[in-house]
Amino acid sequence: MHTGEYGWVTEHGETIHLKDDDCPVSSAIMKGDRKARQVHIETAREEGYQICRHCWKEFQEDLGELMGGSLEESD
């Protein structure tokens, strides 16, 4: 699960990466192997950036958890 409203765009990159080490790019950024600038996810999307495919999957899952919760875990 990613954390917060902020993600990263790598140097010369055109995709947003979330702060989730399931994505190999995000993992590299966290380790300091890749340079990236921090962006506000929604703002960057309005500017035309797209969330990387790897991160998007996580993002959707997180939204699902926020909106609907888990049926399996309901009382």
Q: Which residues bind Zn ion (CB under 5 A)?
A: 17, 23, 25, 52, 54-55
Q: Which residue, 42 or 69, has its beta carbon nearer to Zn ion?
A: 42
- Distance in Å, CB of 68 to Zn ion, minimum: 24
Residues in the chain: 75
Contact yes or no for 7/54 (Cβ under 8 A): no
- Distance in Å, CB of 69 to Zn ion, minimum: 25
DSSP secondary structure code for residue 74 in this structure: -
Q: Which residue, 57 or 73, has its beta carbon nearer to Zn ion?
A: 57
